[in-house]
Amino acid sequence: MRSNSSRGRTSHTPQRTLTHRRTATVALAGVAALIAAAVQTGAASAAPAKPQAGKADPAHVAVRLTPSQRAELLRDADAAKAATARSIGLGGKEKLVVRDVVKDADGTTHTRYERTYGGLPVLGGDLVVTARSGKTMDVVRATNATLKVPGLTPAVAKAAAEKQAVQRAKALGGTKSAADSVHKVIWAADSKPVLAYETVVGGLQDDGTPNRLHVITDATTGKKLYEYQGIDTGVGNTQYSGQVTLTTTQSGSTYTLNDGARGNHKTYNLNHGSSGTGTLYSQNNDTWGNGTNSNAATAGADAHYGAAATWDFYKNTFGRSGIKNNGVGAYSRVHYGNSYVNAFWDDGCFCMTYGDGSGNAKPLTAIDVAGHEMSHGVTSNTAGLNYSGESGGLNEATSDIMGTGVEFYANNSTDVGDYLIGEKIDINGNGSPLRYMDKPSKDGASKDSWYSGIGGVDVHYSSGPANHFFYLLSEGSGTKVINGVTYNSPTADNLPVTGIGRDKALQIWYRALTTKWTSTTNYAGARTGTLAAAGELYGATSAEYKAVQDAWAGVGVGSRSGGGGGGGTSYENTTPVSIPDNGPAVTSDITVSGRTGNAPNNLQVSVDITHTWRGDLVIDLVGPSGTSYRLKSFSGSDSADDVNQTFTVNAAAESANGTWKLKVQDQATYDTGTINSWKLTFP
């Protein structure tokens, strides 16, 4: 389930779709390297708040801006962007581009910016500036690297970058022989900013889904740095919402599916076409569809209802007026293509599109599908989470979380709220949902908890820990029945989590999404952002703040509110081991004894290594069985010094007792270092 997310920085128009049938366009080798520097332990520091117990601090609640108020704040920010750039230490070639603004009741503003360098868009250069009374209070950056490149003249020809991208698109089912666009950018999502090309290849994929492949190519070396599919595919069958009330527009004796109460959101019939807007639903009476696919207006009614429910959810839950928060409605298109088993949001047309399913029998217009897809549009217009690696998992989880929120908000007796994603869409023919938030691994592919390699997993499955976190934060661990559905949510550390309720969990997630996260936020950053949000809303000593800590620990991210992940035991080796330059691997041993059973699925591995240009290093944990667990891969672009990081490893297949080894190898010349110490912590 996805959306299109152009992130407001360049001309690209990525799209995200419903489920997870075609994963080849999503998974990306090595994307975890984009965010490998994050540490998965420790608590965020949030300014203390003094709210009433269990209630959000009204000073830190975002006010509901009218379109004109929002426009005025954006104009003010735009007028002051040069001064803001200087105040936060940007270089002379850097400029800010205002993208969005959130204002709290106490007057604090959170302004989201993109950056340019020498006139070029900076991908991964986005930031959020928090200010009060004209004074900058905080800056959250997608990258802390200094923006500086040797020059803006490529050594690699534009045609070479285009050829590379077109070939990659064809390998993924694309049909076009030329790119839609190729332009220079600064790629800053890695540790070292470089001059690059962003190439966008459109057309169709082999299953009829629109293609929007983005490929980032180093303009100096020609190396592919990153790719993501702006449109991703899925599978599903709709379950209708019964008899509902629709807001339409009457002109004379004609009624149209035009929702004037929600930014003039219109619903169109593509009539099995795959381009253009289609025909606005129009008829001489105000009763739409007959509840079956025999009437083409039935899908239109479902789509129109889903869009209204999503609009109302965001407006009444968060004070957000439409996907862009500007009071303007999107539009919906139904009956896309033939037997198209998918649905997708597209920022390029600012529209939602639904296929009719296998055999054109069941349009994909369920409430949670609409909420999920259009929430990709919200993510695109707020944090702009990159749709690959850990940030991609968080992007997909955000749509699952908000789609779930829409379904509960709609309170529809035919499709009641639950923590099952796409439960009305029978992919396997056995009535099973696409994803389970209480225990994601029940779908056979999603991950229950974070581990160091999760950035290389398809985003529909790496979303699992975030979905699981949200369920735990909302409802808590253990067995319970909600709206007739039985859930049984475990935790990574086998300790209980007490939920704070879905309403509070949604507020925390949304505030982090809109004021704390950037395009490169990973799971560690998501924890930091949600803790900061909880601290602002409910206080840094509140039960809500502690629940956020415990829920993240429950999915293997960071420690418990009591510290230490529930009284863990540590084993450490402090004997220095030299790391030879571009030489054989060296090891350091820790012997564990006196424990019973296997190691946990969230074994903490803390590493202290001194080494210039740490990207040269490959680091593995070797279990007693001899199995290696990759902690850190080689990165030719990571020029920072030293590795001081705690990794979480799923070592449940290993016996706890035995000799564990830290294996380190320098795979490039000119730099040496030392393993100073390392530690195993069993929660």
d(CA 388, CA 394) in angstroms, rounded, equals 9
**Tens-digit pLDDT profile for residues 298-318:** 999 999 999 999 999 999 999
Flag whether 284 is in a domain.
no
DSSP string, 296-360: THHHHHHHHHHHHHHHHHHHHHH---STTSSS---EEEEEESSS---EEEETTTTEEEEE--GGG
Flag whether 117 is in a domain.
yes
Residues 6+ apart with CB under 8 A from 144: none
Residue where a domain stops, chosen among 89, 119, 141: 141
Residues 6+ apart with CB under 8 A from 509: 398, 401, 470, 530, 533
Q: Do 352 and 257 contact (CB within 8 A), yes or no?
A: no
Q: What is the CATH number of the domain that holds 120?
A: 3.10.450.490
pLDDT of residue 312: 94
Flag whether 335 is in a domain.
no
Which pTM does this prediction carry?
A: 0.69
Flag whether 200 is in a domain.
no
Flag whether 222 is in a domain.
no
pLDDT of residue 618: 96
Three-state helix/strand/coil letters over 454-521: HHHCCHHHHCHHHHHHHHHHHHCCEEEEECCEEEEECCCCCCCCCCCCHHHHHHHHHHHHHHCCCCCC
Q: Which position among 60, 110, 335, 460 bears the catalytic label?
A: 460
pLDDT of residue 564: 43
With a cut of 50, list the residues of the chain below it in pLDDT.
1-51, 232-239, 564-567
d(CA 640, CA 647) in angstroms, rounded, equals 18
Backbone angles phi, psi at 632, to 5 degrees: -150, 130
Residue where a domain stops, chosen among 141, 172, 194: 141
Local structure of 85: helix, strand or coil:
helix
Q: How is the chain split among helix, strand and coil, in percent rounded to 5? A: 25, 25, 50
Of 493, 664, 682, 550, which is closest to residue 604 (Cα–Cα)?
682
Tally of structural domains, the chain: 2
Flag whether 51 is in a domain.
no
Residue where a domain stops, chosen among 88, 122, 141: 141
> Which tokens is 10 given?
């360049």
| Length reported for the chain | 683
Flag whether 677 is in a domain.
yes
Q: Do 123 and 34 contact (CB within 8 A), yes or no?
A: no
Of 307, 433, 324, 451, which is closest to residue 378 (Cα–Cα)?
324
Q: Which position among 94, 373, 390, 536 bears the catalytic label?
A: 373
**Tens-digit pLDDT profile for residues 44-86:** 233 333 445 678 888 888 998 888 899 999 999 999 999 999 9
pLDDT of residue 494: 87
- Residue 95 structural domain: 58-141
CA–centroid distance for 359 within its chain: 32
Residues 6+ apart with CB under 8 A from 663: 585, 586, 587, 619, 620, 621, 622, 628
Flag whether 78 is in a domain.
yes
Three-state helix/strand/coil letters over 140-163: EECCCCCCCCCCCCCCCCHHHHHH
pLDDT of residue 22: 24
Q: Which amino acid is at 39?
A: V
Other residues' Cβ atoms within 10 Å of the Cβ of residue 671: 18
pLDDT of residue 434: 86
Is 468 designated active site? no
d(CA 382, CA 387) in angstroms, rounded, equals 14
Q: What is the CATH number of the domain that holds 618?
A: 2.60.120.260
Other residues' Cβ atoms within 10 Å of the Cβ of residue 663: 17
> Which tokens is 604 given?
């903490």
Local structure of 448: helix, strand or coil:
coil
Of 142, 137, 135, 93, which is closest to residue 116 (Cα–Cα)?
93
d(CA 243, CA 136) in angstroms, rounded, equals 51
* DSSP assigned state of 68: H
Is 460 designated active site? yes
d(CA 65, CA 322) in angstroms, rounded, equals 12
Residues 6+ apart with CB under 8 A from 1: 16, 17, 18, 19, 234, 343, 369, 372, 373, 376, 396, 399, 400, 403, 421, 422, 434, 460
